Structure 1
Amino acid sequence: MQNPLLSKYSGAVPRYTSYPTAPHFNEAVDCGKYAQWLKAITGQERISLYIHVPYCDRLCWFCACHTKHTLKYEPIAIYLESLKKEIASVGALVSRDAAVTAVHFGGGSPTMLRPDDLVGLMTALRSVFSFADNVEISVEMDPNDLDEPRYDALAAIGMTRASLGVQDFHPEVQKAINRIQTFEHTKSVVDAVRARGVHSVNCDILYGLPHQTEATLTETVKDILSLAPDRIALFGYAHVPWMKKHQTMIKEEVLPGLDERFAQMNLAASMLIEAGYEPVGIDHFALPSDRMAIAAREGRLRRNFQGYTDDAAEALIGLGASSIGQLPQGYVQNMPATGEYQRMADTGGLTAVRGIEVSADDRLRRRVIEEIMCRFAVDFSDLRAEFGDAAEAIVLEARAFAQSNQDGICLVEGDRFVITETGRPFARTIAAVFDSYLGNGKGRHSIAV
């Protein structure tokens, strides 16, 4: 019998890695507007960089990232030249006194890059941006790409965090998602990066995959725990074939049902907590000594397009096709189409094509949504201190929702809106209550659990 809360609160809602969310971006934010925002970054501000490599040498059918499949390196080499030109254009507009405190290479598969190209890309970044001495450099890694020269190149660029997608180690599940990756191979990657001084390893696990069961997931979690990663992300598979056509290769009839997904999530979470990991937000777990766990305990956890982070930078600059940036004034996205992105970058200009300038109401609602997603509570006195009288309207919304809800998912305690333990799995749905854009019909989303 299905949990009645599941059917009620697991509808399709955003993941809230931004607010307003990407479907509401528009063309009013263009290269000219973006240039103004970049020039406004002061020497006192910190910068985080995201570099997107939109290529993979195999296309995983579960993936919802912006990427394309290629078995040839020539398109990648051409893309990198355009990416370097965009880096130069952006860097010319940003104060050299602003310190880069975090760099994240994502994709696609950044580890597809040849060793000299990876080092060359970091050289291009350092030539136009000022890096802090303690900069965090993280790289998303596909174990099937890696060899000794690439490990050495990752060490040469100063990688401090390795992020490995695992999904599930069961052969039937891997075949169904076109992601063949043995535990032994994964372990060899973890051992290799740690041998080169990497202090933090992150592993991603998915639940809700085709043919996945509680039994297969249990074995995968046990294997992951044997690697002792510093962080573990436990994501629900987002089946969005209307947006990612390759997901049509996954037969819907072999996907776990909603109750089974929920059971898988709870099982994996319980195993991770029992093993000593602290829950962070809705889907992350970290060792108590990890920076993310410390940030969560101290109330400094944040959420951006990479998910949960302890990165406190005032500006996130996205580089590469489809990359999204977050600056104090709003959000900006680069041209998604690789060919057109390269044409724009090669002309010596920026590549921004859309975004959104955040209003005062957006900032207030963004704060509330981030507090729900990161801390499962909203302190009304903090809202008033930051937003003044404008906070009262949303305080009334929160109080009204808590009073009207009869399912025990949230309540008001004193001057705080609190999501209960019962409600935590439905945090995205609760956050959506405060989303003033959601009802306008733009965008389709994955289920909330």
Structure 2
Amino acid sequence: MHEILVEKLKKPTPRYTSYPTAPHFSEAIGAAQYGQWLRALPAGSSVSLYVHIPFCDRLCWFCGCTTKQTRQYKPIERYLESLYKEIATIGALTSDTAVVTDLHLGGGSPTMLAPADFAALRSAIETHFVLSADAEISTEMDPNDLDEDKYDAMAAFGVTRASLGVQDFDPKVQAAINRPQTFAQTRAVVDAMRARGVASVNLDMLYGLPHQSLETVDDTVAKILSLDPDRIALFGYAHVPWMKKHQTMINETVLPGVEERFAQADRAAALLTENGYRRIGMDHFAREHDTLSQAESEGALNRNFQGYTTDNADALIGLGASSIGRLPQGYVQNTPSTHDYQRRVDAEGGLATVRGIQLSQDDAMRGWLIERLMCDFAFSCDELRTRFGAAADALLKEADALAEFDEHDLFVKDAATYRVTESGRPYVRTIAAEFDSYLRKGKARHSVSV
């Protein structure tokens, strides 16, 4: 049985931060359609903003983000000019009464921004959107970019949650992924943000990295625990060199195998839960006081392109090159090229959308089911029928068949609820993939599911 389950782990599957997943977006959805969807947002809609800063001053070889290395600030200044224009364009297209409840700065490295540009970005957003007084404002951070002026600038920006990548503290592992970052640097960032009143600090850790072992995992987790973060994300390194060419710099011969990856993930998860963290979904951990824990307890956990979230806004608006948005009608994505993004946005009234997908009823239904599996490890037959009516019956037949023929009891039916069992949780991506109608006919390649 162990060998069979390992084979399941080896099966490449999406991470399901959306459904349909991004490889299935098409050029049939462009700027004109996006503009119509934005104008159709009802007055009073809640909106989440994702702002992409696609620049880093070094290239981490493990990174799967859309980013561009630069050691000069001029390209960033030029990019920000276009970003402000996109903010103005979208602000004019949306309802004046739409309220921004969540704002996330992602990258790349948002902390490359100069202090004055943090202030200018905040001003642009407030000029064109209504920002809720209690909005969660989060940012990703690179310790190598930071100084006291930038800490102050982020505090003035209103950051309420700081997210900091750790990966692994072992110098050999760091050298193999081109990400030098000492524990002292990391601690200094955590202390600086807390000293400025930031309510929540997240740390991200990876397993499955080159030269990584159970010993380096133990050491990294111990150091992370000493910083007492509010949340921890434990991600498996996704080795996709066919998509991210810089990953070819990583020596594949020193990558852990599937069983080693599973052991590393299991060890880290056990250490975190033993030390008071609540496991959230498949790869997040949070203190009991954290809003992510509260959302999980209340059945209000959601999932988007940032992973597990408390964000339940009516629409997610992506700003910047390569960013993805979600509206009631479907998904949209901006062009990934910074040059093409600037060209499109700088046009009169321009939007940079180049692809997307309009949701069918079947898409919406399968997306809801997959999100509930990923968040709750379960879904209710009654709720599925309430939401989607008679169309739910065909999907429930698929669930019946999956539960009936699952000889390892990873996915079962209890009365009117289907659930992933405790032993099935490491395989939740594989189970969710059984309901993905696009995966069966698509040609997209994905990383292994653990």
Q: Do these two structures clear the TM 0.5 threshold for a shared fold by scoring above it? A: yes
Query: Aligned partners of 1:393 and 1:440: how far apart in 2?
Result: 19
Q: 1:311-355 deviations in whole A, cap 9, x for unaligned?
A: 110100000000000000000000111101100111131110100
Please give the secondary structure, in 2, of the residue aligned with 1:92. helix
Q: 1:235-269 deviations in whole A, cap 9, x for unaligned?
A: 00000000001000101110011111000000000
- Alpha carbons 1:301, 1:374 under 8 Å: kept: yes
Query: Aligned partners of 2:137 and 2:160: how far apart in 1?
Result: 5
Query: Aligned partners of 2:443 and 2:307: how far apart in 1?
Result: 22
Residue aligning to 1:190: 190
- Alpha carbons 2:13, 2:447 under 8 Å: kept: yes
- Alpha carbons 1:43, 1:99 under 8 Å: kept: no
Tell me the amino acid that sits aligned with residue 31 of structure 1.
Answer: A
Query: Aligned partners of 1:7 and 1:361: how far apart in 2?
Result: 29
Query: Aligned partners of 2:313 and 2:15: how far apart in 1?
Result: 21
Q: 1:89-135 deviations in whole A, cap 9, x for unaligned?
A: 11110112010000000000000000001110111111000011101
Residue aligning to 1:412: 413
- Correspondence 1:200-349 to 2 at 5 A: 200-348=200-348, 349=350
Residue aligning to 2:427: 426
Tell me the amino acid that sits aligned with residue 314 of structure 1.
Answer: D
Structure 2 portions without partners, runs of 5+ = none
Tell me the amino acid that sits aligned with residue 242 of structure 2.
Answer: W
Query: Aligned partners of 1:128 and 1:8: how far apart in 2?
Result: 48
Residue aligning to 2:10: 10
- Correspondence 1:23-422 to 2 at 5 A: 23-348=23-348, 349-422=350-423
Q: 1:139-160 deviations in whole A, cap 9, x for unaligned?
A: 0000000001100100111000
Residue aligning to 2:443: 442
Q: 1:9 Cα deviation (Å)?
A: 4.0
- Alpha carbons 1:3, 1:259 under 8 Å: kept: no
Tell me the amino acid that sits aligned with residue 359 of structure 1.
Answer: S
Structure 1 runs of 4+ with >6 Å offset: none
- Alpha carbons 1:24, 1:442 under 8 Å: kept: no
For the aligned residue pairs, the C-alpha RMSD in angstroms reads 0.9
Q: 1:442 Cα deviation (Å)?
A: 2.9
Tell me the amino acid that sits aligned with residue 194 of structure 2.
Answer: R
- Alpha carbons 2:8, 2:430 under 8 Å: kept: no
Q: 1:363-401 deviations in whole A, cap 9, x for unaligned?
A: 100011001100001110111111111111111110111
Please give the secondary structure, in 1, of the residue aligned with 2:202. strand
Please give the secondary structure, in 1, of the residue aligned with 2:206. strand
Query: Aligned partners of 1:199 and 1:191: how far apart in 2?
Result: 12
Q: 1:60 Cα deviation (Å)?
A: 0.3
Q: 1:2 Cα deviation (Å)?
A: 6.1
Q: How many residues align?
A: 449
Query: Aligned partners of 1:60 and 1:310: how far apart in 2?
Result: 29
- Alpha carbons 1:11, 1:429 under 8 Å: kept: yes
Tell me the amino acid that sits aligned with residue 448 of structure 1.
Answer: S
Query: Aligned partners of 1:341 and 1:145: how far apart in 2?
Result: 25
Please give the secondary structure, in 2, of the residue aligned with 1:321. coil
Tell me the amino acid that sits aligned with residue 388 of structure 1.
Answer: G
Structure 1 portions without partners, runs of 5+ = none
Tell me the amino acid that sits aligned with residue 180 of structure 2.
Answer: I
Please give the secondary structure, in 2, of the residue aligned with 1:440. coil
Please give the secondary structure, in 2, of the residue aligned with 1:232. strand
- Alpha carbons 1:169, 1:181 under 8 Å: kept: yes
Q: 1:3 Cα deviation (Å)?
A: 4.1
- Alpha carbons 2:9, 2:448 under 8 Å: kept: no
Q: 1:43 Cα deviation (Å)?
A: 2.1
Tell me the amino acid that sits aligned with residue 37 of structure 2.
Answer: W
Q: 1:63 Cα deviation (Å)?
A: 0.2
Q: 1:209-253 deviations in whole A, cap 9, x for unaligned?
A: 000000001000000011110000000000000000100010111
Query: Aligned partners of 2:285 and 2:406: how far apart in 1?
Result: 29
Tell me the amino acid that sits aligned with residue 244 of structure 2.
Answer: K
Which range is displaced more, 47-56 or 340-349?
340-349
Query: Aligned partners of 2:6 and 2:152: how far apart in 1?
Result: 47
Query: Aligned partners of 2:96 and 2:305: how far apart in 1?
Result: 24
